[in-house]
Amino acid sequence: MRKLGPLRHLALDLDGTLYLGGRLFPCTVPFLNNIRELGIGRTFFTNNSSVSTRGYVDKLQALGIDAEAGEIYSSTTATLAHLKAQVPAPATLFVLGTPALRQEFADHGFRVCGHPGGGTDADGEVPDAVVVGFDPSLDYPRLCRAAYWISRGKPYVATNGDLVCPTDLPTVLPDCGSVCRLLAAATGREPDAVLGKPAPAMLGGVMRRHGLRPEEVAVVGDRLYTDIAMARAAGVVGVLVLTGEATRDQAASASIRPDLIVEDVGELAQLLAESRKGTL
């Protein structure tokens, strides 16, 4: 197991790691208090682009977590950074995503087709690029319009590649990756870039923000193919919690394995405290 002692910052996945759906895990708040006492920083790190940065702050605070906007780093954050380099604002975007996602792009200076009205480009706007995100508000006409612009060769990026979104409800929530598979079947094109986890560039944004070296960072999450794969690609510690998607058996047989497996973040807090005593 890689040493935990050098860790200065944790990139913390949200759904499946700190909470599930609308249910906060009992160990979460004590864990956050413990890492603060240990002098370990935190970034709340999520692939879910359906909620704005402000929305995440509000949700975390409603759950009892004292969060600030500067502690949120989402796949939307990573997508904005990519687009500002590739098609700088005020470029026009067709965004297949929630009203909150479209508003976030508008707030950062992009023109969004149909925003903030019905969400179509019937006014004659031609987008410079297409963005696809997790969209529980997905409707068929917008899906068709996105497929049209993708088929016309417009630059096309996805906020994340997750196939399903975690939930504590008796349902399955197809996520951005599933929508992209549908669009690939319809258009013959995959996204030009997928900006969320497991892309190491997403973690790179956090490391630059805080001046961190790889050995000082751990990614803590419940998914092998996003959280742990990104940790491995970025050369940082990967910690798998068993409160979400992945099981211990799946981790044991995976091609990309975590450095550490814990039942929940409460167990991780105990190990971090022991590492500060020099025992780990």
Q: For 117-168, how does the pLDDT look when each residue is reduced to its tens digit (9 = 90+)?
A: 444 565 578 999 999 999 999 999 999 999 999 999 999 999 999 898 878 7
Alpha-helix runs per DSSP H in the chain? 28-37, 53-63, 75-86, 99-107, 140-151, 176-187, 200-210, 229-234, 248-253, 265-276
Cis peptide before 198 (omega within 30 of 0): yes
- Other C-beta atoms closer than 10 Å to the C-beta of 178 total 17
Return the bridge partners of 219, or none.
11, 238
Provide the 3-class DSSP secondary structure of residue 90.
coil
Domain for residue 56, yes or no?
no
Decide which of 194, 223, 244 is a domain's last residue: 194
User: What is the average pLDDT value for the chain, to the nearest integer?
Assistant: 93
Decide which of 194, 228, 245 is a domain's last residue: 194
d(CA 247, CA 234): 23
Decide which of 172, 194, 216 is a domain's last residue: 194
Same structural domain, 163 and 204: no
Same structural domain, 202 and 184: no
Query: What are the C-alpha distances in Å from 165 to residues 27, 138, 173, 224, 228?
Result: 22, 14, 5, 14, 17
Same structural domain, 185 and 222: no
Same structural domain, 239 and 261: yes
What letter would DSSP give residue 65? -
Amino acid at 98: T
Give the pLDDT of residue 68: 95
Q: Which of 140, 31, 155, 142 is nearest to 96 (CA)?
A: 142
**Could you give the number of structural domains in the chain?**
2
Q: Which residue has the tokens 């969209």?
A: 135
Same structural domain, 112 and 138: yes
Give the predicted TM-score (pTM) of the model.
0.87
Domain for residue 3, yes or no?
no
Domain for residue 71, yes or no?
no
Domain at 163, CATH number: 3.40.50.1000
CB 262 within 8 A of CB 220: no
Give the pLDDT of residue 119: 45
Q: Which domain holds residue 234?
A: 9-47+197-276
- Where the chain has pLDDT below 70, the residues are 1-2, 114-123, 279-280
261's enclosing H/E stretch is strand 260-262
What letter would DSSP give residue 228? I
